[in-house]
Structure 1
Amino acid sequence: MLWTAVSVVLALLAALGNAAASVLQRRAAAVEGPGPSGRRLSWLPHLLRRPVWLWGAATLVLSGVCQAGALATGPLAVVQPVMTTELLFTLMLGSLVFRQRAGGRAWGAFVAMVVGLAALLALVWPSGGRASVPDGRWLVAAPLVAVLVAVLVVVAFRLPSAPRATVLGSATAVLFGVTAALMKDAISRLADDGLVRLLTAWQTYGVVVAGLAGFLLLQLTLHAGTLVASQPALTLGDAFLSVVLGATLFDERLALGWLVVPELIALALISVGSVQLARTPAVAGKTDEEEGMW
């Protein structure tokens, strides 16, 4: 129980880091402007020369360290849902960076997400589980994930801006969830057999590949459309897939049965809160002129 509490604290710190990175990179992307229909990477070299974007990337690395610590001490099905608090931190940080005041509607969404997340974790609360995943399970999971991401990306580029951002956000969420699962699996090698085993485990390099792919897709997502379209898919997709991977790969047991009904209600609260928060200027990074009715 103590280690699970530690993992929750580390996951919250990781979520804070992700929020800071998202706000900083969104700021840089807004200054740079979108690429042609969000389809090309011509904007990437310009972003790489922007200090704000680089600070965001550095913050993302620190967030990854906290996430690794969280995954080393707690279940995947707890850590990743806790990291949906990224959107809550984004509201607070975005209010400062974009100089936007969060109104009553935004804070109502904030409360809905907090209540929904707390209720969901209390109801589902995973137990048991294994530290590492047999390679045979990855042989099944990895191709399925690769196909799913490829299909989502192909479909996304056939869609207009808003739905493209949503679908790309979903693809990014899949990669983030898989990266977390690979990270947890890799860290177990460090705990069991030391640094040499970690450096020789294929999972370690899987984290690098999946993480970089997810990072690149995130940049495409941010340029494809508004945060309103992409953030809910990013937030909820990562959490949902991580719960599934925790159960199927790590044998984490979830409390279901009759609890499914209140769990779905809690999930609905998180979904509604996520969508409403993504609409706030502080989270979306809108200027005063774009604020409109907010």
Structure 2
Amino acid sequence: MSALVWSVLLSLVSAVAYAAGAIVQERVATTAPGRPFAPLRHGGWWVAMTLNGFGAALHVVALAYGPLSLVQPLGALTIVFALPMAAAFVRRRAGATAWRGAVMATVGLAGLLSLTGSADTSSLPGGERVVLALATFGGLAVLFLAARRMRKPVVRSVILAAAAGMAFGAASVFTKTVAVDWTSEVPAAEWASLLAIAGLATTGMLLSQASYRGAGLAAPLATVTVVNPVLAAAIGVTLFGENFRYGALGTSLALGCGVLAAGGLVLLTTERLTAARTPRSRADRTAQPEPLPRVTAQYGIPQRERLSGGTADRGSDQAVTPPALR
């Protein structure tokens, strides 16, 4: 097989591995609600981390065989693979709205990545790396605090997923920088970048795990899948001199693809909000009103008996006379 075919196959298997890892992460989030970030004692969590690591390794190998413009859009198929896999293996079926949102997000992301061109191989100087790291961790802190203030679990999960995508996207930028500047001697500046990569990857992993609490699978996974490469592409355009293909037309098409992907995320979020409200509304319609407490007069004499002056129905409502009046 040719190198291009190998690149496509590895990219598809990588997307399947990412999808399987996300499904396991969502299951861990539902079975270990008291540990939202890192349930280290849960075996499924380690399985999810292994699947994600396997998918990342295949993605890197696919980049070695094929062009970035092909491999990156194929990675957007993760959300498309995740929905049928969840329905087949964990009986978690997605509705028509979730499918429309997932397809919109995937098509928009694939179009955006395919329109992103590449510039000459370059790196970031030390000052820009520091600014990028500070800006990323500051943005993560803001999103984390905003998520904690949200009362709706779905909105909180989507914000956490966006923070996870930001962390992963910035980690990809630092990875590219290290790959360009890597030498056998590994200067001290690269060690700082390696520490930034480790910190961002760990933060993104913990945030993505927490994002699956109370939001299902599709909305958090689609958010991470879209935000990660979009942020990396935006940094590439602003800092690495990358641009969009076909000039002004390509830029307009890229903006349209971004709007399409964002619309898919909004559709997935609203679908989860509607699904979260439906059980409560049904319960409200089927709930029976509780009987009102019997009004009792002073000294324990039933109100209706005191008003009538008789002793009707005293078999069930026998009054208790205080000792002082006996």
TM-score, structure 1 normalization = 0.75
Aligned partner of 2:227 in structure 1 is: 237
Q: Kindly state the Cα deviation for residue 3 of structure 1 after the two structures are TM-superposed.
A: 7.9
Cα 1:274–1:135 change in 2 (3 A) is same
Cα 1:62–1:131 change in 2 (3 A) is farther
1:215 matches 2:205: yes
Contact 2:105 2:222 in 1 (8 A): no
Q: How does 1:121-160 map to 2 (within 5 A)?
A: 121-122=113-114, 124-160=115-151
Unaligned runs of at least 5 residues, structure 1:
36-41
Q: Which moved more, 1:124-133 or 1:135-144?
A: 124-133
Cα 1:108–1:162 change in 2 (3 A) is closer
Opposite residue 242 of structure 2, the aligned amino acid is E
Aligned partner of 1:48 in structure 2 is: 40
Cα 1:43–1:229 change in 2 (3 A) is closer
Aligned partner of 1:19 in structure 2 is: 19
Contact 1:119 1:266 in 2 (8 A): yes
Contact 2:14 2:59 in 1 (8 A): yes
- Percent sequence identity over matched residues? 28
Contact 2:219 2:265 in 1 (8 A): no
Cα 1:101–1:237 change in 2 (3 A) is closer
Cα 1:248–1:130 change in 2 (3 A) is farther
Unaligned runs of at least 5 residues, structure 2:
283-326
CA distance in 2, matches of 1:223, 1:106: 17
Q: Kindly state the Cα deviation for residue 117 of structure 1 after the two structures are TM-superposed.
A: 4.2
Aligned partner of 1:260 in structure 2 is: 251
1:177-226 deviation per Cα after TM superposition (whole angstroms, max 9, x unaligned)? 01111122223344xx34x5399822223221111111111122222644
**Greater Rg by CA:** 2
Cα 1:183–1:29 change in 2 (3 A) is same
Q: Kindly state the Cα deviation for residue 88 of structure 1 after the two structures are TM-superposed.
A: 1.1
Q: Kindly state the Cα deviation for residue 276 of structure 1 after the two structures are TM-superposed.
A: 5.0
1:206 matches 2:196: yes
Cα 1:198–1:13 change in 2 (3 A) is farther
Opposite residue 126 of structure 2, the aligned amino acid is D
Opposite residue 169 of structure 1, the aligned amino acid is A
1:157 alignment partner, SS class: helix
Cα 1:11–1:136 change in 2 (3 A) is farther
TM-score, structure 2 normalization = 0.68
Q: Kindly state the Cα deviation for residue 66 of structure 1 after the two structures are TM-superposed.
A: 2.4
Aligned partner of 2:112 in structure 1 is: 120
Cα 1:139–1:76 change in 2 (3 A) is farther
**Structure with a larger share of its residues in helix:** 1
Cα 1:26–1:206 change in 2 (3 A) is same
Q: Kindly state the Cα deviation for residue 129 of structure 1 after the two structures are TM-superposed.
A: 3.3
CA distance in 2, matches of 1:109, 1:154: 27
Q: Which moved more, 1:231-240 or 1:141-150?
A: 231-240
Q: How many equivalent pairs are there?
A: 272
Q: Kindly state the Cα deviation for residue 58 of structure 1 after the two structures are TM-superposed.
A: 0.8
Q: Kindly state the Cα deviation for residue 170 of structure 1 after the two structures are TM-superposed.
A: 1.5
